[in-house]
């Protein structure tokens, strides 16, 4: 595979000729490996040469097509460096990869979706790494979607995570200086209030290097022999979901002990908690931003296989994790874009100081199909008014480690107020798998069909992180 990669010239530019030759060689290799009968499914060298011969817009398209071509047969490592070092690289590559990730998810090609998403993640969040062959550390060019935002809670979380990784000899003493810079930033932000937000300035970025909101470490998380515990009765779970008037089922001891521990270690070790737009120290990690591993995809596949009456032929559309601070004073009510949510709690119950908190409220009320994603997901006051008007009632599901909850994604729901113990390992973490799309099912027969604007809004942002949504919509 390595011979098929284009050589990078001294000035760091991949020429058109190199790109075309690499494409031709790669297509030939794919044909020899998979057979000429699959040629129609591949981007041919001739197509790439035509695009490269066109003006710059065509050249950018060719680069994007080559990136996705490489995805089909490699592990998306070397090509990421090639794309970064391309002088003319711009958002066209990310846009192409984002569209490919969406397409692969929609048709259930999870391995290709995972490769495409990993390349997106690395292009945006990749950190400096040491290259033994070159004998030097290489800092890849970072493709900025938005300027990173500093918050006290995010800085504190990262300090705790760096110390956690240092204790396990995953990070070295060089991070002591990084931690000191983070603590200086906290002191600067503190007078502005606990929820203060400040864009990362060039001066601060110079001090932090490539450490803030970067993929410094991602824990290996391979597939396991078994991931679902089997201590529950599948038919009983499906019957509970189908017979519930809203579509809710609760399953305890959902994952095997080994799978639960592996997922938890992935969440604790991996520096993928980039989304910090939420209040009270709540952070998100999304499929396109590093919440992506062979084990997570294995769980997604086996859940769909084990619960056909719930998941059906719906494909996985999003994976995410949420990590919380010690306290959450209020409920975070919203609905999601998907058709079926599977939520799993992975933090030990010993971390919960108040057993009456930390669970999930699910309301007996669905989001109107005419509402846009912003309306049903990000406008709590609008949602609360709607719930009051409808006389909605909630069901409370208490927190319990390794408890899984299947529910109709279109139901309004929210994390209950929580009070967890201090300490990095005590942070409440939930992992969610989202299948299908609410707009494709429209099972709320009492509602009118959604408007074109509402459908467009949902398809743009419903299953991406906010940063990718902003990039995609310009």
Neighbours of 18 (CB within 10 A): 16
Q: What is the pLDDT along the chain (474 residues), one digit of tens a residue?
A: 333 333 323 333 344 555 555 555 555 554 555 555 544 444 444 444 444 444 444 455 555 555 555 555 444 444 555 554 443 344 566 776 788 889 999 999 999 899 889 888 887 887 654 333 344 444 444 556 678 899 999 999 999 999 999 999 999 998 999 999 999 999 999 999 999 999 999 899 888 877 999 999 999 999 999 999 989 999 999 999 999 999 999 999 999 999 999 999 999 999 999 999 998 999 999 999 999 999 999 999 999 999 999 999 999 999 999 999 999 998 889 999 999 999 999 999 999 999 999 999 999 999 999 999 999 999 999 999 999 999 999 999 999 999 999 999 999 999 999 999 999 999 999 999 999 999 988 644 333 334 444 444 444 444 444 444 444 333
Which of helix, strand or coil describes residue 336? coil
Q: Residue 71's pLDDT is what?
A: 52
Q: Which of 235, 263, 261, 264 is nearest to 249 (CA)?
A: 235
Measure CA 64 to chain center. Answer: 21
Q: How many CA atoms lie within 13 A of 421 on its CB side?
A: 12
Judged by DSSP in three states, 146 sits in coil
User: What distance in Å separates the CA atoms of residue 12 and residue 32, rounded to the nearest whole number?
Assistant: 30
Q: What is the pLDDT of residue 7?
A: 33
**Using alpha carbons only, what angle is made at residue 216 by residues 210 and 217, rounded to the nearest 5 degrees?**
180
Which CATH fold topology does 234-473 show?
Jelly Rolls (2.60.120)
Distance (Å) of CA 183 to CA 19, 46, 132, 173, 425: 45, 55, 32, 16, 20
List the domain boundaries for the chain.
2-126, 149-208, 234-473
Question: According to the model, what pLDDT value does residue 124 have?
Answer: 83
Question: Rounded to an integer, what distance in angstroms lies between the CA atom of residue 474 and that of residue 459?
Answer: 15
Q: What are phi and psi of 205, to 5 degrees?
A: -65, -35
Q: Which of 194, 214, 192, 216 is nearest to 205 (CA)?
A: 214
Distances (CA, A) of 251 to 231, 399, 464: 10, 12, 27
- DSSP letter string, 75-136: -SSHHHHHHHT-TT--HHHHHHHHHHHHHHHHTT-HHHHHHHHHHHHHHHHB--EEETTTTE
Q: % helix / strand / coil in the chain, to the nearest 5?
A: 45, 15, 40
């Amino acid at each position: 595979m390595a011979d098929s990669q284009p050589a990078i010239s001294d000035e760091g530019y991949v020429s058109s000729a190199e790109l075309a030759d690499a494409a031709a060689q790669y297509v030939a290799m794919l044909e020899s490996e998979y057979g000429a009968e699959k040629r129609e499914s591949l981007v041919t060298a001739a197509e790439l040469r035509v695009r490269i011969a066109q003006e710059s817009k065509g050249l950018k398209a060719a680069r994007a097509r080559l990136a996705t071509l490489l995805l089909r047969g490699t592990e998306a490592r070397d090509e990421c460096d090639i794309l970064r070092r391309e002088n003319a690289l711009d958002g066209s590559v990310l846009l192409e990869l984002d569209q490919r990730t969406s397409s692969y998810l929609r048709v259930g090609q999870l391995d290709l979706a995972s490769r495409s998403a990993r390349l997106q993640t690395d292009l945006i969040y990749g950190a400096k790494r040491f290259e033994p062959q070159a004998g030097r550390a290489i800092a890849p060019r970072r493709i900025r979607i938005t300027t990173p935002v500093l918050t006290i809670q995010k800085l504190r979380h990262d300090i705790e995570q760096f110390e956690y990784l240092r204790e396990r000899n995953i990070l070295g003493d060089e991070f002591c200086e990084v931690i000191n810079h983070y603590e200086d930033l906290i002191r600067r932000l503190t007078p502005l209030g606990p929820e203060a937000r400040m864009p990362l300035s060039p001066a601060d970025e110079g001090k932090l290097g490539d450490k803030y909101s970067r993929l410094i470490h991602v824990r290996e998380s391979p597939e396991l022999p078994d991931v679902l515990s089997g201590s529950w009765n599948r038919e009983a779970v499906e019957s509970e979901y189908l017979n519930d008037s809203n579509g809710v089922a609760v399953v305890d001891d959902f994952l095997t002990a080994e799978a639960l521990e592996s997922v938890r270690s992935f969440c604790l070790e991996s520096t993928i908690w980039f989304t910090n737009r939420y209040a009270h120290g709540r952070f998100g990690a999304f499929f396109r931003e590093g919440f992506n591993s062979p084990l997570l995809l294995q769980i997604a596949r086996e859940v769909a296989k084990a619960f056909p009456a719930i998941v059906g032929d719906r494909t996985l559309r999003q994976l995410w994790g949420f990590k919380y601070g010690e306290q959450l004073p209020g409920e975070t009510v919203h609905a999601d874009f998907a058709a079926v949510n599977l939520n799993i709690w992975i933090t030990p119950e010993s971390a919960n100081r108040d057993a009456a908190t930390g669970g999930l409220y699910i309301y007996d009320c669905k989001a109107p199909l005419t509402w846009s994603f912003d309306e049903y997901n990000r406008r709590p006051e609008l949602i609360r008014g709607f719930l009051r008007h409808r006389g909605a009632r909630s069901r409370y599901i208490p927190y319990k480690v390794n408890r899984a909850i299947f529910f109709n994604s279109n139901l309004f729901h929210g994390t209950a107020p929580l009070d967890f113990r201090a300490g990095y390992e005590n942070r409440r973490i939930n992992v969610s798998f989202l299948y299908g799309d609410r707009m494709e099912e429209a099972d709320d027969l009492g509602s009118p069909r959604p408007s074109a604007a509402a459908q467009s809004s949902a398809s743009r942002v419903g299953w991406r992180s906010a940063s990718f949504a902003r990039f995609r919509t310009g």
